[in-house]
């Protein structure tokens, strides 16, 4: 298989496999969670579920006072990494081309310079978080192989992406192949690792809020 | 048949001045990325070189490669190719026909055995005994294998000969393959492109005559001096790519401003060729300069690499149907496992024996 054939594979069949595994896995995980069969709450509701659920989804996604009680490093690095990753994924023009071809619509892109700065900050934040995870005795103790695996799977598309954009190492074709492969690995691994939190985080937040709402607790 | 005259003698017969010849040598040296001093070396070597016998076999092709070469406007560097070689067989260009034409090929093969250059354009069909393309009642495969035996080297001109090209595109009904899929024991140089740049053919021949060997090749057998960089690397619209300025359609403001054609499907970033530097039609322009993205015609399977108008970052295959199918399967698995979980829960509840106060 030469490079051109490999590129055709990763843009075609490879992406189909990755998309199929991603969608199948995510639908299975989410639906399985919803169908766990919790007992119906027979108590008389003291409030609604949807409003508090949605409010909790929002509240827990923005920094709160208590969050910084142990310092700012984790909070700032965490936000930079998550927001930077999303911005890079959603606002690079080449990525929008991908979404447009799949969903049939696109949106305005940010300038390549801004995306490059965002990606560099994201990479720096990820490296800092990894170093912190490894050097902090408590975090190191509670980290298992999956934490390092998911870090690697998230880091590689960013690294190869910026290398592709800046023309660092390999040719465009080879780096494009590597970049797409890293994305496909991420897609395949997401439903079956801690990365599934990209969906479950929000449903869990909604659920917590909804429970409080049902009990009449103001959120 | 005697040895062919030297190139110097030939040029003299044609009335080509030494000045024009030196200009040609300088251009060749420049195109092949050789130092300026190489121009003199090329001139000295070429002037003494015996014009090699060339047998040109056209197989499953559209004649576009020959058209590209012969219709290049004179006087050009490309036109000198016919002074550098003795084209002993080319069934499109030669005056002879029928048995006479075939005899000229056989004579050249016999008289210059081990020395002649074999140029092939077009792919070779293998299905059904190769009946899809025959010349003088013989299959392309038969002709190629026979001619390859005595060839010093083979030059596969065009993407069809180099990689199978359009005849090789899915579903490939004729079983078309490239020269290199059949011939394994001869040096093969691929000059891909649909059609290839005429100056590249001339450049390779000049290199062969000057140094007596084929130029350095990339992993796909193409001369590195011409295929070493991508169209994107040398594109004059590259700054717009770096700035994120893209034409969104062929008639929007971006297109009129000459912005990058990446979003309109340009394959320049993954296509290795010299179009952006050598250009076409006597250096007039190349496809991107004319406002259309690169099709990637010098790369293998360019016809099967998705739409010409799909950006490189977009998928080439349908994801929607696959994703919808996967969602249904995923939902089915979740429902089935949930049902199994609930059934297990029920069985456990039913099997549960309650303790009485007495037992405690």
The pLDDT tens digits for A31-43 are 999 898 778 888 9
Q: How far apart are CA A126 and CA A124, in angstroms?
A: 5
Paired tokens of B104: 């000229």
Inter-CA distances, B283 with B39, B78, B120, Å: 20, 12, 26
Q: Taking CB atoms and an 8 Å limit, are B319 and A111 in contact across chains?
A: no
Residue B265, SS3? Answer: coil
> Given the DSSP bridges, would you call strands B176-177 and B124-125 parallel, antiparallel or unpaired?
antiparallel
Mutate to test the interface with A, among B221, B296, B319, B329 (most CBs of A within 10 A): B319
Can you give the pLDDT at residue B76?
A: 56
Q: Is the pLDDT of residue B314 over 80?
A: yes
Identify the DSSP state of B49.
Answer: P
Say which residues have a Cβ less than 8 Å from residue A1's Cβ, sequence separation at least 6.
Answer: A9
| pLDDT computed for residue A184 by the predictor | 97
Average pLDDT, stretch B79-91? 75
Q: How far is residue B62's CA from residue B123's CA, in Å, rounded to a whole number?
A: 10
Residue of chain A with shortest Cα separation from B320: A102
How is residue B206 written in tokens?
């000049």
List CB contacts (< 8 A) between A16 and chain B: 315, 317-319, 322
DSSP string across B131-170: TTSEETTEEHHHHHHHHHHTEEEEEEEHHHHHH-TGGGST
* pLDDT of the residue at B7: 77
Q: Is the peptide bond before B171 cis (omega within 30 degrees of 0)?
A: yes
The pLDDT, as a whole number, for residue B1 is: 44
Q: CA B170, CA B178: separation in Å to the nearest integer?
A: 15
Nearest to A15 by CA among A209, A184, A205, A153: A184
Compute the distance between CA of residue B64 and CA of residue B150 in angstroms, rounded to an integer.
Answer: 27
Residue B301 CA to residue B298 CA, distance in Å, equals: 9
* Residue B112 and residue B85 in contact, taking contact as beta carbons nearer than 8 Å: no
Apex CA B13: angle with CA B9 and CA B18, to 5°?
A: 70
Residue among B326, B324, B317 at smallest CA distance from A16: B317
Q: Where are the alpha helices (DSSP H) in B51-193?
A: 64-70, 81-84, 98-111, 140-149, 158-163
Region A53-77: mean pLDDT is 88
CA nearest A113 in B: which residue? B243
> Under a CB-based contact definition with an 8 Å cutoff, are residues B274 and B267 in contact?
no
Interface test with B, best of A14, A28, A109, A110 (most B CBs within 10 A): A28
Residue A186: pLDDT over 60: yes
Q: Which residues of B touch A91 (CB under 8 A)?
A: none
CB contact under 8 A, A2 and B345: no
Min mean pLDDT across A131-140, A192-201, B92-101, B303-312 is at B92-101
Cβ contact (<8 Å) for A111 and B244?
Answer: yes
Does the distance separating the beta carbons of A4 and B302 come in below 8 Å?
yes
The answer to whether the CB of B289 falls within 8 A of the CB of B261 is no
Mean pLDDT of B284-291: 93
Q: Give residue B33's pLDDT.
A: 73
Subunit contact B314:A101, Cβ cutoff 8 A: yes
Three-class DSSP category at B190 = strand
Choice among A125-129, B44-48, B188-192, B227-231 with the minimum mean pLDDT: B44-48
User: Which band of pLDDT confidence, cut at 50, 70 and 90, is reported for residue B73?
Assistant: low
Contact B317/A at CB under 8 A = yes
Grouping H, G, I as helix, E, B as strand and the rest as coil, residue B123 is: strand
Digit-coded pLDDT (tens) for A139-168:
999 999 999 999 999 999 999 999 999 888
Look at residue B242 in the predicted model and tell me its pLDDT.
92
Antiparallel, parallel or unpaired: β B116-121 and B151-157: parallel
How many Cβ atoms are within 10 Å of B114's Cβ, its own excluded? Answer: 8
What local confidence, expressed as pLDDT, does residue B189 receive?
95
Interchain CB distance below 8 Å, B326 and A24: yes
Interface of A with B (CB under 8 A): 2-5, 7-8, 11-13, 15-16, 19-32, 35-37, 93-95, 97-98, 100-102, 109, 111-113, 171-173, 176
Say what the pLDDT of residue A205 is: 94
Instruction: Report the alpha-carbon distance of residue B224 to residue B178 in Å, rounded.
Output: 20
pLDDT tens for residues B14-38?
Answer: 777 888 778 878 877 777 777 778 8
pLDDT at position B79 is 61
Report, as an integer, the average pLDDT of B199-211: 83
Distance in angstroms (rounded) separating the CA atoms of residues A7 and B338:
40
For residue A133, pLDDT beyond 50: yes
The pair of structure tokens assigned to B293 is 């993205």
Q: What is the pLDDT of residues B111-136, one digit of tens each?
A: 899 989 999 999 999 999 999 999 98
- How many angstroms separate the CA of residue B5 from the nearest CA in chain A? 42
Task: Choose among A170, A161, A171: nearest CA to A126.
Answer: A161
Note whether B83 and B14 are within 8 A (CB). Answer: yes
Q: Can you tell me the mean pLDDT for B94-123?
A: 88
Distances (CA, A) of B286 to B236, B279, B293: 11, 5, 10
- Contact criterion met (CB below 8 Å) for B58 and B161: no
Q: Is the pLDDT of residue B2 over 60?
A: no
CA angle B89, B91, B96 (to 5 degrees): 80
Percent of chain A with pLDDT over 90: 82
Per CB-CB distance under 8 Å, the chain B contacts of A111 are 243-244
Please tell me whether the overall predicted TM-score, pTM, comes out greater than 0.95 for this model.
no
- Angstrom CA distances, B31 to B28, B40, B85, B300, stand at 5, 15, 20, 23
Helix (H, G, I), strand (E, B) or coil at A151: helix
B240 reaches A (C-beta below 8 A): no
Number of other residues whose CB lies within 10 A of the CB of residue A171? 19
How many CA atoms lie less than 13 Å away from B40 in the CB half-sphere? 2
B322 touches chain A (CB under 8 A): yes
**In whole angstroms, how large is the CA radius of gyration of chain A?**
20
The pLDDT of residue B80: 62
pLDDT band at A171 (very low <50, low <70, confident <90, very high): confident
Beta-carbon separation of B333 and A28 below 8 A: yes
Residues B233-261, mean pLDDT to the nearest whole number:
95
């Amino acid at each position: 298989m030469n490079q051109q054939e490999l590129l055709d594979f990763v843009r075609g069949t490879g992406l189909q496999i990755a998309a199929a595994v991603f969608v199948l896995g995510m639908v299975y995980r989410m639906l399985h969670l919803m169908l766990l069969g919790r007992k119906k709450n027979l108590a008389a509701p003291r409030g609604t579920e949807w409003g508090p659920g949605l409010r909790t989804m929002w509240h827990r996604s923005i920094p709160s006072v208590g969050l910084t009680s142990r310092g700012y490093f984790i909070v700032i690095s965490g936000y930079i990494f998550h927001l930077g990753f999303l911005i890079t994924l959603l606002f690079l023009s080449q990525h929008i081309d991908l979404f447009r071809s799949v969903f049939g619509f696109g949106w305005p892109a940010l300038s390549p310079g801004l995306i490059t700065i965002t990606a560099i900050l994201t990479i720096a934040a990820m490296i800092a978080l990894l170093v912190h995870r490894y050097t902090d005795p408590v975090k190191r103790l509670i980290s298992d192989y999956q934490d390092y695996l998911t870090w690697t799977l998230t880091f590689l598309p960013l690294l190869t992406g910026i290398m592709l954009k800046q023309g660092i190492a390999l040719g465009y074709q080879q780096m494009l192949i590597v970049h797409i492969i890293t994305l496909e690995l991420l897609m395949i691994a997401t439903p079956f690792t801690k990365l599934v939190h990209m969906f479950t985080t929000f449903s869990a937040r909604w659920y917590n809020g909804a429970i409080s709402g049902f009990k009449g607790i103001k959120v | 048949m005697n040895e062919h005259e030297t190139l110097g003698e030939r040029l003299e017969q044609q009335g080509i001045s030494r000045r024009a010849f030196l200009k040609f040598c300088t251009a060749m040296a420049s195109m092949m990325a050789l130092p300026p001093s190489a121009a003199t070396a090329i001139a000295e070597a070429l002037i003494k070189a015996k014009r090699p016998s060339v047998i040109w076999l056209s197989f499953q092709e559209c004649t576009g490669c020959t058209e590209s070469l012969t219709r290049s406007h004179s006087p050009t560097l490309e036109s000198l190719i016919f002074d550098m070689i003795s084209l002993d067989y080319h069934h499109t260009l030669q005056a002879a026909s029928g048995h006479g034409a075939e005899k000229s090929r056989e004579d050249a093969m016999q008289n210059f055995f081990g020395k002649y250059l074999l140029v092939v354009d077009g792919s070779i069909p293998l299905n059904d005994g190769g009946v899809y393309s025959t010349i003088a009642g013989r299959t392309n495969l038969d002709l190629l294998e026979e001619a390859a035996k005595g060839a010093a080297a083979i030059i596969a001109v065009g993407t069809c000969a180099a990689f199978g090209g359009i005849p090789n595109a899915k579903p490939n009904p004729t079983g078309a393959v490239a020269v290199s899929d059949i011939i394994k024991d001869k040096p093969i140089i691929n000059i891909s492109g649909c059609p290839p740049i005429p100056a590249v053919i001339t450049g390779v021949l000049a290199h062969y005559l000057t140094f007596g060997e084929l130029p350095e090749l990339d992993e796909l057998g193409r001369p590195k001096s011409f295929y070493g960089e991508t169209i994107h690397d040398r594109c004059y619209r590259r700054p717009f790519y770096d700035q994120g300025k893209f034409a969104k359609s062929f008639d929007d403001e971006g297109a009129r401003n000459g912005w990058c054609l990446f979003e309109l499907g340009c394959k320049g970033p993954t296509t290795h060729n010299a179009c952006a530097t050598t250009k076409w039609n006597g250096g007039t322009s190349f496809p991107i300069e004319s406002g259309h993205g690169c099709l990637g015609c010098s790369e293998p399977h360019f016809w099967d690499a998705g739409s010409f108008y799909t950006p490189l970052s977009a998928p080439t295959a349908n994801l929607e149907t696959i994703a919808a199918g996967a969602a249904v399967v995923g939902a089915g698995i979740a429902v089935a496992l949930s049902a199994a979980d609930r059934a297990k829960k029920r069985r456990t509840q039913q099997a549960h024996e309650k303790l009485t106060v007495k037992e405690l």
